[in-house]
Structure 1
Amino acid sequence: MYEASLLTATEADAVPAYRRDPLTDIAIHTFSEAQFMALFHSLVRSTFIRFGTFALVQQTCGIPMGISAAPFIANLFLAWYEYRFMTQPTTTARQKEVVRAFSLTKRYLDDLLALNNRFISRLLSVDQRYAGMHGLYPTSLQVEPQSHPHLQTQIPAGTTAMPFLDILLILRTTPSGDARITTRLYDKRVQPVFDGVRLSRFIGADSNVNEASKRNIFTGQFHRLRRVVMEVENFVFESANLIAALTQMGYSRARLIRDCARVLEATPQAYYIQRRQRQHPEYADLVGLIRQYLARRRHFDSTAVPLELTQTHHW
């Protein structure tokens, strides 16, 4: 194992450049500021990419893609601008309102999610000014709003859909005026632009990978689904899709279904309320519903409105 430490020039002179911790057996490398900057410049200048055995392409804009440090460099770069924006003086009521709105705006690497932020378009760029405040990101950074018109035909009427990472946020207002947000799985690879493109999601059962890793594919994906999907029907549908995809890669369907039953039994808190609804007693047997999807006896209606959950809706 390795752990890198950044020290000042004075501190670096006082410790060896390399040492091994006798208790943890961790190799510790220390760098002076000059050494760190030399490594950093080397990384960001590694802009050549080889395709196959004949094409050498140079990336001319942005942080080099493919290097392991790229996500960390990008995150630090953007976080610095966000820090400068959020620490601006807020002496007026409007400035405080702006900061509150941006405190609910979240970013993961290069994906930005802004909910109920009416100031976002006025303050995206550092050269923009509003209410005596400067904008957020450098002018060289292109931040464009996403548009997904094909999603509007796949969600309940009167709702709005917004994808963020692998989640599809579905926002709606109830007849009583309350706001509701539910989530489904979102896979950008099913967009129309990828039609006809062969995409492999998982390693094959006959792949030269250790058996433990292959056995853990379903379990890991199961826990991912139960964490990000709020609609139980979508969870069942996506679990069936997962089993079908793994079956195509050579895995045993019977074993996958047994694994599904096992992990559901080990996580009784998963969709606990939904599995006890009086209106939908079939949700008490999620494995049975998954079998129905696999047999094509049940179909997912993406336009159906999720059932409102109250205390009277479960046993």
Structure 2
Amino acid sequence: MRVRILEKIYHPTNNPNLSTPFRRNREEFWIKNLNTAAPYGCNDNISTIGNLTSPGCQSVNVTSLFNRQQRRPRSHGIRKYNRPEIHSFSFDDLVPFLNEPLGLHYIRTKLYSVPLRKLHEIYDYTKDLTYTDTRSPEYRLQGVILDISTFRLFQAVRSDKSEEKTNRPFIKCIDLSNPSLHPLPCECSSSDFNYSPCEHVITGDLSIVKNDKLRELLKKGPKCRESMSFTWNQNVKIIMDSCEEYARRWAKKEDVQLDTLSEWIKSIRGLLLSRINRLKSTVNTRFKSIFKDPDVITELNYLQEHNVITPADKASNNYTFTCKKYYSDSLVKELGLNSTPGNPTYTPTNLSASEIIDNHKSALASFGFNMNNLDLDLPYLYCIPKMHKNPYKQRFIAGSSKSSTKSVSILLTKVLSEIKSGLQKYCSTVYSRSGINQLWILKNSKEILEHLKSTHFRRVHSIKAFDFSTLYTTIPHSKLKERLAKIISNAFTSKNGNRKYKFIVVNFDKTYFVKEKSDSENKYTEIDILQMLNFLIDNIFVVFGGKVFQQIVGIPMGTNCAPLLADIFLYSYEAEFIQSLVSEGKRYLASEFNFTYRYIDDVLSINNPKFADYLSSIYPSELEVKDTTETKNSASYLDIMLSYDTDGHMNTSLYDKRDDFNFSITNFPFLSSNIPSSPAYGVFISQLIRYARANTKYTDFVLRARRLSDKLLSQGVRELKQLCVLRNLWVIGNVGGLCARNPG
């Protein structure tokens, strides 16, 4: 027998009450990951199930307990023809394989590849066998066959999920007013919420709402759902109709009489009625929407008459109230209307919205998109306040939920994501071989924390953070087309210029390149992709106040592929800069940029104090880059505050721009909302893990955790259940080990 160590387990405490459950949890993880539970292996006990070989666990489907292994990526090029396999084997044919090294793998492969009808025959034969010697190979094989057969043959029938949906969020009941081009009244001068820098009302303080009922509901955020009235008879009907529909589908799939499940349906009905009888005395079934209260309606109408209600930037669960006149004037100024010096990004067009949409439909049809029964429209321009800026600023967004170019944007998102993935793999290989990093793109802040664990950051002497001002609306169209065309062309061709791939296939759940041919209807050539990209860039229109404007510079924030277009556009300049340094023999200087990171328009440079001197050499002149470094030895980047001490030791802590807001932030669910209670406790777990990863010092973690706990308790979370969740997380997840690097 050979023994291999899979994992060395560390726990910060020697208390067996804590360390033993943690060890057992890791053992169970490897049992499920390696599929070694009985009858497939020697591991018998699963904490949530019991002993698998005991009589009480005979009905447990072991295969369903295993962790699903991700299938390794395979080439979709030219495939070889394989003759159809003849599945002619019996129970006795499989017994000898149990004693061979990879025999169990062979048996499982056979049972998973055999057609269901043949598997059903094997199952019927095997279940009637009566082996009693638990040490015999026949007994073990019988368990394997019955378990895999149960997993494959008796999967639950898909049911209709429409009845499971909760009522809509009450934000749908609040109509966001569309500002007009005509002069609007303003009473901001006498308001207590007048923001002095602009002399108009801009606030997220819900004290502006005078009605107590409406204010309490708005505090819960736009995702809150009011409770709805219901009847017990209606619930019984919905549940029993679903059970009967499930029974009909199962009977049809298994080709049996519907009466087979009649007793099962009766037992479900009995349990349901018994449960309802217990709940009738404790659960209220009558609720009245506050939007039927005349005082609430009057207050809401008054707020909408004088303000535009929108989410806050960086805090989408909070309402902000902006003076209608100021809101409209901001959009007018952005578009350059009424002789106001505006943004050169937009220009008025003489085409009507219907003419533009008809042109788009014609172009999309030529690209192969099905345009039937689509309710298309042009994006509308709106803005939301940046409450974390001083003074407040506006973020302009194109509302593209029903945009006529949305289908093209979604397809380009999938294509560019696959191209970006290929760039990341290529640049990672180059970095490992040459020691030069030419790809600075980050997925999220978690990735930067993983990078900081490297030995390269044992001594830090410089941290610099930068930000692109209005990146999306300043990218020149000509340069965007040129750069993206080159990147796309490189994805289809080899270094020597020969054609590497002929098509890119875009399926619902996967996108991949193919060399020669594909039977998929959703395959596109390099020329197809470039034509769609140029069409999208040349046909960016927005609507405001009944007028149509064309965006001639930049890309709209709101279209699906906008972040990818900006990301790859900036990458092309960054890679070109690094490659030019290497070709000029300045490899040492190029290596100085190895610890540069960028998340779309936020840049971080570590141990490169002269990074700012090269900004003009890296990026095009049209883009403005600002230094956002806080102090000499600290900078905030995404949701992380980075700093280093006099010895060069790096420290990180969680940074939240919303902490600077002058009003309370709504970012977690309220249990009084008509939603399941489990998400609220799930938020508690996920946020604690996030805090543990981001905070180097234990004291910072505790401070954040206390704030989180107090906030959730104020929103209806039960303290006892919260403590149980915290204990399980501490024991199983070892959160203390994550943040115990520096006790602070």
TM over 0.5: yes
**Which residue does the alignment assign to 2:619?**
137
The CA deviation string for residues 123-173 of structure 1, in whole angstroms up to 9 with x for no partner, is 112xxxxxxxxx21121121110154xxx7xxxxxx832111111112111
In structure 2, what residue type is equivalent to 1:87?
Answer: Q
**Which residue does the alignment assign to 1:3?**
510
* TM-score scaled by length of structure 1: 0.63
**Which residue does the alignment assign to 2:710?**
244
- CA spacing shift, 1:57–1:123, aligned 2, 3 Å: same
Over the residues paired in the alignment, what is the CA RMSD in angstroms?
Answer: 3.4
**In 2, Cα distance between equivalents of 1:46 and 1:273:** 50
**Which residue does the alignment assign to 1:117?**
608
Q: How does 1:76-115 map to 2 (within 5 A)?
A: 76-90=568-582, 95-115=586-606
- CA spacing shift, 1:190–1:41, aligned 2, 3 Å: farther
What secondary structure sits across from 1:179 in the alignment?
Answer: coil
Task: Kindly indicate whether residue 650 of structure 2 is the aligned counterpart of residue 181 of structure 1.
Answer: yes
Is the Cα–Cα contact under 8 Å of residues 74 and 109 in structure 1 kept in the other structure?
yes
Q: How does 1:233-272 map to 2 (within 5 A)?
A: 233-268=699-734, 270-271=736-737
**Which residue does the alignment assign to 1:162?**
635
What secondary structure sits across from 2:693 in the alignment?
Answer: helix
- How far 1:268 sits from its partner (Å)? 2.9
- CA spacing shift, 1:86–1:214, aligned 2, 3 Å: same
The CA deviation string for residues 89-135 of structure 1, in whole angstroms up to 9 with x for no partner, is 43778x3332121111111221111122132122112xxxxxxxxx2
**In 2, Cα distance between equivalents of 1:141 and 1:205:** 45
**In 2, Cα distance between equivalents of 1:214 and 1:167:** 24
- CA spacing shift, 1:268–1:42, aligned 2, 3 Å: same
- How far 1:41 sits from its partner (Å)? 4.0
**Which residue does the alignment assign to 1:230?**
696
**Which residue does the alignment assign to 1:36?**
529
- CA spacing shift, 1:213–1:273, aligned 2, 3 Å: closer
- CA spacing shift, 1:31–1:100, aligned 2, 3 Å: same
**In 2, Cα distance between equivalents of 1:259 and 1:225:** 16
**In 2, Cα distance between equivalents of 1:246 and 1:98:** 50
Q: 1:171 aligns with which of 621, 644, 647?
A: 644
In structure 1, what residue type is equivalent to 2:588?
Answer: E
In structure 2, what residue type is equivalent to 1:65?
Answer: M
In structure 2, what residue type is equivalent to 1:243?
Answer: S
- How far 1:235 sits from its partner (Å)? 0.4
What secondary structure sits across from 1:168 in the alignment?
Answer: strand
- CA spacing shift, 1:50–1:230, aligned 2, 3 Å: farther
In structure 2, what residue type is equivalent to 1:143?
Answer: V
**Which residue does the alignment assign to 1:66?**
558
In structure 2, what residue type is equivalent to 1:163?
Answer: S
What secondary structure sits across from 2:519 in the alignment?
Answer: coil
**In 2, Cα distance between equivalents of 1:57 and 1:260:** 53
Q: How does 1:141-152 map to 2 (within 5 A)?
A: 141-148=623-630
In structure 2, what residue type is equivalent to 1:16?
Answer: D
* TM-score scaled by length of structure 2: 0.29
- How far 1:272 sits from its partner (Å)? 6.9
**In 2, Cα distance between equivalents of 1:247 and 1:39:** 51
In structure 1, what residue type is equivalent to 2:653?
Answer: R
**In 1, Cα distance between equivalents of 2:670 and 2:707:** 16
Q: How does 1:288-303 map to 2 (within 5 A)?
A: none
In structure 2, what residue type is equivalent to 1:75?
Answer: D
What secondary structure sits across from 1:144 in the alignment?
Answer: strand
In structure 2, what residue type is equivalent to 1:35?
Answer: D
- How far 1:57 sits from its partner (Å)? 8.6
**In 2, Cα distance between equivalents of 1:45 and 1:262:** 55
The CA deviation string for residues 14-36 of structure 1, in whole angstroms up to 9 with x for no partner, is 32343xxxxxxxxxx32222332
- How far 1:274 sits from its partner (Å)? 4.0
Is the Cα–Cα contact under 8 Å of residues 104 and 115 in structure 1 kept in the other structure?
yes
**In 2, Cα distance between equivalents of 1:208 and 1:30:** 44
Is the Cα–Cα contact under 8 Å of residues 7 and 33 in structure 1 kept in the other structure?
no
What secondary structure sits across from 1:34 in the alignment?
Answer: helix
- Deviating runs (4+, > 6 A) in structure 1? 53-60
- How far 1:208 sits from its partner (Å)? 4.8
Is the Cα–Cα contact under 8 Å of residues 17 and 31 in structure 1 kept in the other structure?
no
- How far 1:201 sits from its partner (Å)? 1.2
Q: Which runs of 5+ in 2 are unaligned?
A: 1-507
User: Larger % of helix: which?
Assistant: 2
In structure 2, what residue type is equivalent to 1:72?
Answer: L
- How far 1:253 sits from its partner (Å)? 3.3
Q: 2:662 aligns with which of 175, 195, 199?
A: 195
In structure 1, what residue type is equivalent to 2:527?
Answer: A
Q: Percent identity?
A: 26
- How far 1:213 sits from its partner (Å)? 3.8
Is the Cα–Cα contact under 8 Å of residues 114 and 120 in structure 1 kept in the other structure?
yes
- How far 1:49 sits from its partner (Å)? 6.5
**In 2, Cα distance between equivalents of 1:183 and 1:60:** 41
In structure 1, what residue type is equivalent to 2:655?
Answer: Y
Q: 2:519 aligns with which of 8, 13, 16?
A: 16
What secondary structure sits across from 1:236 in the alignment?
Answer: helix
Larger Cα-atom Rg: 2
- How far 1:210 sits from its partner (Å)? 5.0
In structure 1, what residue type is equivalent to 2:724?
Answer: R
**In 2, Cα distance between equivalents of 1:258 and 1:54:** 56
**In 2, Cα distance between equivalents of 1:187 and 1:90:** 38
Deviates more, 1:71-80 or 1:262-271: 262-271
What secondary structure sits across from 2:731 in the alignment?
Answer: helix
What secondary structure sits across from 2:627 in the alignment?
Answer: coil
In structure 2, what residue type is equivalent to 1:216?
Answer: G
Is the Cα–Cα contact under 8 Å of residues 696 and 740 in structure 2 kept in the other structure?
no
Is the Cα–Cα contact under 8 Å of residues 44 and 64 in structure 1 kept in the other structure?
no
- How far 1:207 sits from its partner (Å)? 3.9
- CA spacing shift, 1:199–1:269, aligned 2, 3 Å: closer
